[in-house]
Amino acid sequence: MINATGNPQRIVLFGGTSEIGLAIVAQYLAQAPAHVVLAIRPDSPRRRAARDQVEAWGATSVRLVDFDAAAVADHPAVVERVWADGDVDLAVLAFGQLGEAERLWHDQPRLVDFMNVNLTGAVSLGALLSQRLAGQGQGQIIVLSSVAGEVVRRSNFVYGSAKAGLDAFFRQLGEALRGSGVHVLVARPGMVRSKMTAGLKAAPLTLDPDQAAAQIVAAAQRGQTLVWVPGAFRWVMLALKHLPAPLFRRLPL
């Protein structure tokens, strides 16, 4: 159960090596111990380090479950394994790939693989998790969307369109779950310094993973359904969204 102060007793992180995802887990563990399941690609070189970190942060237990976002046919079995030790209170979906739009839209098989990870994989898991959590009568989902999905840019339109789809699905999944005891928080960060953005020029309002995680966890504990990270992006994106296309096209985005 999530206790009165908003602390879950069992957390699963899909994309168990994600720097933002791990920072979210760290925030919760700093408040109260919890059992943690890390759902990670079997061939990720970061599996051991992620487990060691979560143990060092004081998790009551840490268990690894193999998980490939693109292997949607395996998702029901993955969810079964995640639930093997009992109810899960919080599921964090933090997997994703940034990709290069130019390369992807010229290469159909790669494009489809990319969408299977970033969009179809997330949607598939969202549906399965919702059923499990609603069956328990309680629980929370935090999903990592992006400001890139709110205003999709030419330079990043493949990633942006995957996030737009993910964002729309989870926003309305939260509505569909109203009254079930299950809450969905869609987090829309701007740029965060993680391995996903390593080597890229820092954009305005760039945060570290722990800064982003602190804002996301605070929003989850307040019961919000949407959080911009940082909050200023709400207004930046509102302005960008309403720019006429010829003007928007000229921006260095």
Ligand X SMILES: NC(=O)c1ccc[n+]([C@@H]2O[C@H](COP(=O)([O-])OP(=O)(O)OC[C@H]3O[C@@H](n4cnc5c(N)ncnc54)[C@H](OP(=O)(O)O)[C@@H]3O)[C@@H](O)[C@H]2O)c1
CB 11 within 8 A of CB 34: yes
Task: Using the minimum distance from each CB to ligand X, give the nearer residue, 59 or 212.
Answer: 212
Nearest distance from C-beta of residue 10 to ligand X, angstroms: 19
Nearest distance from C-beta of residue 187 to ligand X, angstroms: 8
Task: Using the minimum distance from each CB to ligand X, give the nearer residue, 178 or 241.
Answer: 241
Task: Using the minimum distance from each CB to ligand X, give the nearer residue, 136 or 143.
Answer: 143
Query: Which ranges constitute the DSSP H helices of the chain?
Result: 19-31, 47-56, 75-82, 101-105, 108-115, 121-136, 157-176, 209-221, 233-241, 245-250
The rounded distance, in Å, linking the Cα atoms of 173 and 53 is: 32
Task: Using the minimum distance from each CB to ligand X, give the nearer residue, 203 or 238.
Answer: 203
Which one is catalytic: 28, 114, 159, 228? 159
Nearest distance from C-beta of residue 32 to ligand X, angstroms: 23
CB 99 within 8 A of CB 158: yes
Residues that bind ligand X (CB under 6 A): 15, 17-21, 41, 44, 46, 67-70, 94-97, 117, 144, 146, 189, 191-192, 194-197
Distance between start and end Cα atoms, the chain: 43
Task: Using the minimum distance from each CB to ligand X, give the nearer residue, 81 or 180.
Answer: 81
The rounded distance, in Å, linking the Cα atoms of 248 and 92 is: 33
Bridge partners (DSSP) of residue 40 are 66
Task: Using CB positions, name the residue nearest to ligand X.
Answer: 96
Q: H or E stretch including 143?
A: strand 139-144
> Known catalytic residue: 159?
yes
The rounded distance, in Å, linking the Cα atoms of 200 and 10 is: 35
Give the contacts of 229 (CB within 8 A, at least 6 positions apart). Answer: 187, 188, 189, 190, 192, 207, 212, 215, 216
Please identify every residue annotated as catalytic.
159
